[in-house]
């Protein structure tokens, strides 16, 4: 209450706040997809996992009384979806993109089916850390109320970046993703590595879904995801398969999503449909500028079905 009049400063503040609030699901899903794609598979089913994770996280949080148990449930549900995707794609002549679309429809359908009874109840949500105590401007305090999962996601981005660069596990995933033949020559089990990478990546997407229903916007309903799962898959390409890039891309998309409402709130009303399209226009522009007709996309794992 007693909000201070910020004038046009409200816009950058809203973008900052929005970036932090809205980016977390993008971050988790894109990190999950990054892990899977670095191992050589594309999983388009993450939108379904996101919605199912949102539903199962909310339901289990409501039934158990603890939001953290809900997050765990979202992750487990995601891992299960990932296992199914991973195992099905390991069969001969199975296309991972087709399976991904099937898993997406399955995840959403199951979530709507099991989630019917959980639209009305109010489940306990996730706590947040108030980093804005130093400020006496309430808007700054509200913008800096940051959920723990955001920090976990940011830490995970760094951890994954470090893992790919320097650890044996990272090397295994990269080898499997870049050349299955080389991996086999090294004595690695390519199929197992890919199944596990898909399961782990899908578990992260499940956590991203649980964030949607347990923190922001913080309730379960059938329209909870507006395509974040699909956009996050595109973000991975945008981030050139680099986990740190995923982090910045997720922040950018979150902030761009806050632009439309924030501009309207300070009186810039003309053409708000255009502002709502800002993230997509920006992505298109950036991909256009950085693409090249003479080489394959930089950083793309060699075994991906779209680059092969």
Partner 1 sequence: MSHSNSFPRRRFLQSTAGLAGLGALGMLPIASAHAAAITVGFVYVGPKDDFGYNQAHAEGAAAVRKMEGVTVIEEENVAETVDVQNTLESMIRFDGATLLFPTSFGYFDPHILALAPKYPDLRFQHCGGLWSADKHPRNVGSYFGYIGMGQYLNGVAAGHATKSRKIGFVAAKPIPQVLLNVNSFLLGARSVDPTITCQVIFTGEWSMAVREAEATNALADQGCDVITCHVDGPKVVIETAAARNCFVCGYHADQSALAPARYLTGAEWNWASVYTAMVKSMQAGEAIPNFVRGGLAESFIKMSPLGPAVPEAGRAQFEATRARILAGGFSAFTGPMKDNRGNEIVSAGQAFKESDVELESMNYLVEGVIGSTA
Site for partner 1 (CB under 8 A): which residue of 62, 161, 216, 238? 216
Site for partner 1 (CB under 8 A): which residue of 102, 266, 278, 297? 266
x/- site string to partner 1, residues 10 to 29, per CB under 8 A?
x--xx--xx--xx-------
282 lines the binding site for partner 1 (CB under 8 A): no
260 lines the binding site for partner 1 (CB under 8 A): yes
Name the CA dihedral angle for 45, 226, 156, 262, rounded to a multiple of 10 degrees.
Answer: 160
Contact 48, 58 (CB under 8 A): no
Contact 239, 34 (CB under 8 A): yes
Pick between residue 9 and residue 68 the one whose CB is nearest to partner 1. 9
Q: How many residues bind partner 1 (CB under 8 A)?
A: 51
42 lines the binding site for partner 1 (CB under 8 A): no
Give the C-alpha separation, 47 to 81, whole Å: 11
264 lines the binding site for partner 1 (CB under 8 A): yes
74 lines the binding site for partner 1 (CB under 8 A): no
- The alpha-helical segments, DSSP class H, found in the chain are 10-38, 46-64, 67-90, 96-115, 138-143, 148-166, 168-178, 180-185, 190-214, 228-238, 243-265, 272-276, 278-290
- The alpha-helical segments, DSSP class H, found in 215-242 are 228-238
CB of 261 to partner 1, least distance (A): 4
Give the C-alpha separation, 235 to 76, whole Å: 24
Q: Which residues bind partner 1 (CB under 8 A)?
A: 1-6, 10, 13-14, 17-18, 21-22, 105, 108-109, 112, 116, 119-120, 122, 139, 142-143, 212, 216-219, 221-226, 228, 257-258, 260-262, 264-267, 269-273, 276
């Amino acid at each position: 209450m007693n909000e201070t009049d910020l004038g046009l400063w409200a816009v950058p503040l809203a973008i900052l706040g929005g970036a932090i609030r809205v980016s977390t699901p993008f971050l988790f899903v894109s990190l999950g997809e990054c892990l899977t794609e670095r191992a050589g598979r594309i999983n388009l089913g993450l939108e379904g996992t996101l919605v199912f994770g949102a539903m199962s996280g909310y339901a289990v949080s409501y039934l158990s009384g603890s939001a953290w148990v809900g997050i765990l449930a979202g992750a487990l549900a995601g891992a299960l979806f990932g296992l199914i995707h991973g195992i099905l794609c390991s069969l001969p002549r199975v296309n991972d993109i087709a399976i991904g679309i099937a898993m997406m429809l399955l995840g959403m359908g199951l979530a709507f089916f099991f989630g019917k009874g959980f639209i009305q109840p109010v489940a306990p949500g996730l706590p947040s850390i108030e980093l804005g105590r130093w400020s006496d401007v309430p808007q700054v305090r509200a913008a800096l109320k940051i959920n723990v999962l955001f920090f976990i996601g940011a830490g995970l981005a760094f951890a994954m970046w470090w893992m790919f660069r320097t650890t044996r596990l990272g090397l295994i995933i990269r080898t499997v993703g870049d050349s299955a033949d080389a991996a086999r020559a090294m004595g690695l089990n390519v199929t197992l590595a890919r199944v596990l990478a898909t399961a782990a990546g899908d578990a992260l997407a499940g956590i991203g879904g649980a964030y949607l229903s347990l923190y922001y916007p913080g309730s379960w309903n059938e329209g909870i995801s507006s395509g974040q799962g699909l956009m996050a898959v595109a973000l991975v390409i945008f981030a050139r398969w680099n986990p740190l890039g995923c982090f910045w891309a997720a922040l950018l998309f979150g902030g761009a999503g806050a632009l439309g409402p924030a501009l309207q709130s300070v009186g810039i009303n003309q053409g708000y449909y255009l502002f709502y399209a800002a993230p997509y226009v920006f992505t298109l522009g950036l991909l256009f500028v950085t693409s090249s007709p003479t080489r394959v996309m930089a950083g793309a794992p060699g075994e991906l079905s779209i680059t092969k």
